[in-house]
Amino acid sequence: MNSPLLAAVDPAVQPPTAARIPHPTQLHGQTLDDDYFWLREKESAEVRAYLEAENDYTDTVLAPTKGLQETLYREMLSHIKETDTSVPYRDGDWYYFTHTIEGSQYAIHCRRRAAADRSYDATAPEEVLLDVNKLAEGKPFMALGALSVSPDGNLLAYTTDETGFRQYTLHVKDLRTGEVLPDTAERVGSLVWTPDAKMILYTVEDEQTKRQDRVLRHTLGAAADTDVFVFEEKDERFNVGVGRSRDRKFLFLEVGSHTTSEYRFVDAMTPTAEFQLLAERVADQEYYPDHRDGLFYIRVNDTGKNFRVVTAPVATPDREHWTELFAENKEIPLDDFEVFQHFAVASEIVQGLDRMRVFRFDGDTLSKDFATVAFPEPSYSAGLHVNRNFDATTLRYSYQSLVTPASVYEYDVATGISTLLKQQEVPGGFDREHYASERVWATASDGVRVPVSLVYRRDAFKKDGTNPLYVYGYGSYGYALPVGFGTSRLSLLDRGIVMAYAHIRGGGDLGDAWHDDGKMMVKRNTFTDFIAATEHLIAEKYGAKDKVIIEGGSAGGLLMGAVVNLRPDLFRVVLSHVPFVDVMNTMLDATLPLTVAEYEEWGNPNEPEAFTYMRSYSPYDNLQPGAYPATLVKTSLNDSQVMYWEPAKFVAKLRTLKTNADTPLLLHTNMDAGHGGASGRYDYLREIAMDYAFILVELGLA
């Protein structure tokens, strides 16, 4: 199919050609050929020149869309309330919230002191904790990591990343004076204050693999080189983290891999004491504790994938002393269990949809009776919002759907009544009644039913197989694809595109078992599910078979590469963001971030059986001569999760194999960002405008 984009380009303009330098790897009697291995040299002038040449080529091809990109950007901007304030939430004696100001890229973090009765007092003076716009001045990228106010309310600990490499530096600010103190540390992950606000426990990453492997304790005012070593995890599959119980009586030290977890704890009032093991790790078992009145409440999957809840005395918390509170439900996964002084909340997954049940405490006894928080739409996302106060009598939760903007509710545990506190305001003429959402089930190749969420504009949709169809997928790490509202999406819906979100195996949309059925040696289920979902939507006439757009990022980019190799005929346009496409070379390099830990997700190619299976779907290794869809691949030079060279190598190799020269293959590298792309909200909108312009022009909808 001739491309409208390429038709407007001077035939003399040709895409860059990357040099081919043989780099074979021998393993298990097989050879992996990697002619573009040289692109890994980030500091090489030749590599930089190649990436810039690809950017120049992409800019040339997309030059005729600049006007459309600006139109799309203005459309998306018109649906954003640029000056806005989040719902204030209480934490101790303060209410915290953020402002966004028209024209400013980043949020401003603020607070007000609570009234005497702990209610929100809008007349109390507003204090600015941190203006991220000021932090970002003169910098092309700025991201916050941790953000934590000390228990006495006087100090703010926060971490920043100025490159996109997700390498964070610790800062401490005195909120009374505005002074940033000399206390600092590098490569910091999680952090937690001690109750007296005199010390911070924090985790530090390994310099090469970026694994959070150590816990240190810093005393305010002391030199960084005097920070006290607390703990180190040697097993490269595991990361460490620090936190605290909701009642603030215990500090927690978590050690976790993709499949196994282990906790240690210490009384918060004696933070320099040695952390005590709660329960020894058991392979392929996860547990997550909290504390209330001398008991640990623990969500654990030791009897099955759907989790149960047990309690254990603080004095003897090991498995031998666990008492079952709620048995595992073999049909309904327990996604979370939150404990408060007066109630507990069970977050469950029922046929792929969120459900919350609220149980009340009568003294030390948790009632078996419960109230269910109801949600009205066929497809939605709901979950707990910010609930910092252990003695609360109300519960904050969030709710949104494909047609309902993000909303925050407060649920009164005593009355069972939910009150809407704030719903995202969508200016620019948005009317939710113009849009409809559905949830359908596709049948995979092995007979498994796969849920798909759909949204479209009512007056632009005809169920006759003529609408353009956009299908998004992810399907890895047990991550449940959120069914959320997006203002930028309106620009496609208003042009008649039907948008679908495939909840394929490998994700956590139907619980841990759903994840397990799409990873390791059954990973191909993820790809065949996506193909089956797309074919189902076409068969049911939700979209035209010659107008299918697909999008995925990171592990979703792996999905894009795999399904295009399997069924290049099924898709018309592909958007692939920071795609994990060079599975074999990456998973054979244990020096890279994430590799060893992710043996539990993909498999270890050093093992012959895993090597053969992983090679069977690795996108880079399975490119073949033939016609491919119009493809825009985007990456970032400072990505620490999927290194820029994976998409760069993929595009370079595909250029040598792709037989339909009349269809575009574009690579764009953001030279100043990381895995999530641009950090500023306006810059990010312009990135989306580029994607949408590519789609609309290729489909003749511009």
| Domain membership flag for residue 153 | no
Q: Region 640-648: what's the mean pLDDT? A: 97
pLDDT band of 384, cuts 50, 70, 90: very high
Distant-in-sequence, close-in-space partners of 113: CB < 8 Å, separation ≥ 6:
93, 94, 95, 121, 124, 125
Say what the pLDDT of residue 636 is.
98
Higher pLDDT, 294 or 702: 294
pLDDT band of 31, cuts 50, 70, 90: very high
Do the Cβ atoms of 641 and 477 come closer than 8 Å?
Answer: no
| Domain membership flag for residue 499 | yes
| Domain membership flag for residue 254 | no
Domain count across the chain? 1
Q: Region 592-604: what's the mean pLDDT? A: 96
Q: Region 139-152: what's the mean pLDDT? A: 97
- Token code pair at residue 344: 């507990």
d(CA 348, CA 508): 12
Say what the pLDDT of residue 621 is.
98
Say what the pLDDT of residue 174 is.
98
| Domain membership flag for residue 256 | no
Write out 26-87 in H/E/C secondary structure: EECCEEEECCCHHHHCCCCHHHHHHHHHHHHHHHHHHHHHHHHHHHHHHHHHHCCCCCEECC
Query: Measuring CA to CA, how many Å separate 307 from each of 288, 338, 601?
Result: 10, 14, 20
- Token code pair at residue 236: 């490269």
pLDDT tens, residue by residue, 610-625? 999 999 999 999 999 9
Say what the pLDDT of residue 418 is.
97
> How do 548-553 and 573-577 pair as beta strands?
parallel
Q: Which residues are catalytically annotated?
A: 554, 639, 675
pLDDT band of 510, cuts 50, 70, 90: very high
Say what the pLDDT of residue 489 is.
97
pLDDT band of 702, cuts 50, 70, 90: confident
d(CA 521, CA 501): 24
pLDDT tens, residue by residue, 288-303? 999 999 999 999 999 9
Share of the chain above pLDDT 70, in %: 100
Instruction: Say if residue 1's pLDDT is above 70.
Output: no
Write the CATH number for 652.
Answer: 3.40.50.1820
| Domain membership flag for residue 146 | no
Q: Region 596-609: what's the mean pLDDT? A: 98
pLDDT tens, residue by residue, 433-452? 999 999 999 999 999 999 99
| Domain membership flag for residue 298 | no
| Cβ neighbours, 10 Å, residue 536 | 19
Say what the pLDDT of residue 631 is.
98
What pTM was estimated for this model as a whole?
0.97
Q: Region 311-329: what's the mean pLDDT? A: 97
Torsion angle of the four alpha carbons 571, 576, 582, 587, in this order, in degrees rounded to the nearest 10: -120
Range of the structural domain that residue 465 is part of: 4-78+438-699
Instruction: Say if residue 5's pLDDT is above 80.
Output: yes
Distant-in-sequence, close-in-space partners of 528: CB < 8 Å, separation ≥ 6:
444, 445, 446, 566
The count of C-alpha atoms lying within 13 angstroms of the C-alpha of 537, restricted to the half-sphere facing its C-beta, is: 37
Say what the pLDDT of residue 208 is.
87
pLDDT tens, residue by residue, 192-242? 999 999 999 999 999 889 999 999 999 999 999 999 999 999 999 999 999
d(CA 295, CA 314): 6
Q: Tell me, what amino acid is at 412?
A: D
| Domain membership flag for residue 503 | yes
Say what the pLDDT of residue 222 is.
96
Is 388 buried (19+), middle (13-18) or exposed (0-12) by CB count in 10 A? middle
| Domain membership flag for residue 610 | yes
CA-closest candidate to residue 21, choices 54, 55, 51, 46:
46
Mean pLDDT (the chain, rounded): 97
Say what the pLDDT of residue 624 is.
97
For residue 566, how far is the Cα from the chain centroid? 26
Phi, psi dihedral angles at 667 (to 5 degrees) = -125, 130
Helix (H) / strand (E) containing 334: strand 334-339
Instruction: Say if residue 515's pLDDT is above 90.
Output: yes
Q: Region 544-572: what's the mean pLDDT? A: 98
465-481 burial code (b ≥16 CB/10 A, e <16)? bebbbbbbbbbbebbbb
SS3 state at 524:
helix
Instruction: Say if residue 8's pLDDT is above 90.
Output: no
